[in-house]
Amino acid sequence: MHVYSHHIGDFNTATLHLSRLERSIYRDALEYYYVTESPLDGSDFDLLARRLRCETDAEKDALRFVLAEFFDIDESAGCYIQPRCERELAEYRVAVAASGAVKANVNKRQQVHREQRKAMFAALRAKGVVLPWDARTPDVRAAFEEHCKGVDLSRTSHAPVTANHIPLPIPQNQVIPPNPPAGGAEAGDAAQSAEQPGDGQQAVRMQNPAATVAQLLAFFPEKRRTRAVEVARLVVELVEGGSVTEGVLLAAAAAQSTLLCADDGKACPSVLRWLRESRWKDPVAGVAGGVAGCVSGAVTGGVTGVTGVAGNWMQSRSGVEAMGIQLGLGAWDENKDRLFATYDARVMDAYRQKFGVASYAH
């Protein structure tokens, strides 16, 4: 026990008749009682005096008076019992036990809730119904009741984690996905379920999530590798939920790394934002010959007429940024253009003025 209630008024009233030395020894005896959470061992008085730093004869006499005045002697156990301390310790032990029981119940409820959520996503996928991975649980349950009437959730492949479950080994010095967040089952919905089945992919269990996250972070400028714990959690959600595979994530980051790291990563999004916006789907809009490419040619069908920029550049942020760089506007500066839409409009206007195009297809 590291903290106890010290009622100043009660203590002062009970110790008015004590000398300053006796009062100090009494306070030390109380604190030692609480720290050890047990009565004072009186089987060896000299040893007890040493533990309470009573060395002189005057200090030992003061200790004897304090023990006789405030403590009950248990002859059979050879110890000194302080009734007030015993009451405080009893209440403390009850509180600790109750806290542990509450935490265990909350964890159990969260686990059951997540397993039910996973089961509903699986049943909906079997019916061809696709919901966003971060859909609210009431919405998931409503969709399940509408499309999966009569489906027995207990027969799904999402079995609860058993007591003998052994976690996969995580390499040292790697990012470790966090434990489920505290705060109730609703608070852990988006962070733990990850059941969005994108592009018809099959949900899989990641064998080494820490290694995958470490490889992904390596493709981004160091200053954009923020909130690594949330990145790790989201990667696990996306891959195990079927939204994307590990290979696709790493391949897309590798293909975009040149653009992401351009200009010391000034226009690069954080890894977390890159994942949230599904920017692994962005087409690679690399700039031939470096950032300072040249503008040449004219617009012909789906071809931009700009060297090194994909014809469908208007359909992705990375494409718009690549065109902005080629047209001399530079990459998107979030501090300058707080909204990407503002930067996008500037690029479109510069493109129209350069080639005299009145309109363009998105």
Average pLDDT in the 2-21 region?
89
Q: How many helices (H) and strands (E) does the chain have?
A: 13, 3
Please give the Cα distance from 306 to 321 (Å, whole number): 13
- Pairing mode, strands 79-81 and 40-41: antiparallel
Q: Tell me the C-alpha to C-alpha distance, in Å, between residue 314 and each of 18, 77, 207, 302, 341.
A: 85, 84, 37, 11, 12
Average pLDDT in the 44-54 region?
94
Kindly report the backbone phi and psi dihedral angles of residue 273, in degrees, each rounded to the nearest multiple of 5, phi listed first: -70, -40
Please give the Cα distance from 175 to 177 (Å, whole number): 7
**For 28-32, 97-101, 223-227, which range has the lowest pLDDT when averaged over its residues?**
97-101
E-only strand ranges, 159-282: none
Average pLDDT in the 117-125 region?
87
pLDDT at residue number 218? 85
Q: What is the mean pLDDT of the chain?
A: 75
Angle between helices 83-126 and 137-147 (to 10 degrees): 40
Kindly give, in sequence order, each residue whose CB lies less than 8 Å from that of residue 142, ignoring residues fewer than 6 positions away: none
Please give the Cα distance from 224 to 269 (Å, whole number): 7
Q: What pTM value is reported for the model?
A: 0.32
pLDDT at residue number 101? 63
Q: Give the percent of the chain with pLDDT over 90.
A: 17
Predicted confidence band of residue 41 (pLDDT cuts 50, 70, 90): very high
Q: Residue 161 carries which side chain, given as an amino acid letter?
A: V
DSSP code for 266: T
pLDDT at residue number 220? 87
> What SS3 class is residue 41?
strand
Kindly give, in sequence order, each residue whose CB lies less than 8 Å from that of residue 226, ignoring residues fewer than 6 positions away: 270, 271, 272
The token duo for 267 is: 């226009």
pLDDT at residue number 71? 94
What confidence tens digit (pLDDT) does each residue in 283-338 have?
654 433 333 333 333 333 344 555 456 566 776 777 777 777 777 787 777 556 66
What confidence tens digit (pLDDT) does each residue in 197-218 have?
444 445 567 777 888 888 888 8
Instruction: With a cut of 60, say whether residue 261 has pLDDT above it.
Output: yes
Predicted confidence band of residue 47 (pLDDT cuts 50, 70, 90): very high
Identity of the highest mean pLDDT range in 22-31, 214-223, 264-273, 285-294: 22-31
Predicted confidence band of residue 52 (pLDDT cuts 50, 70, 90): very high
The partner residues of 40 in beta bridges, in order of sequence, read 80
CA dihedral 162, 163, 165, 167 (to 10 degrees): 130
Predicted confidence band of residue 170 (pLDDT cuts 50, 70, 90): very low
Please give the Cα distance from 311 to 360 (Å, whole number): 11
* Contact between 212 and 250 (Cβ < 8 Å): yes
What confidence tens digit (pLDDT) does each residue in 129-167 have?
888 888 888 888 888 888 887 777 765 444 444 444 444
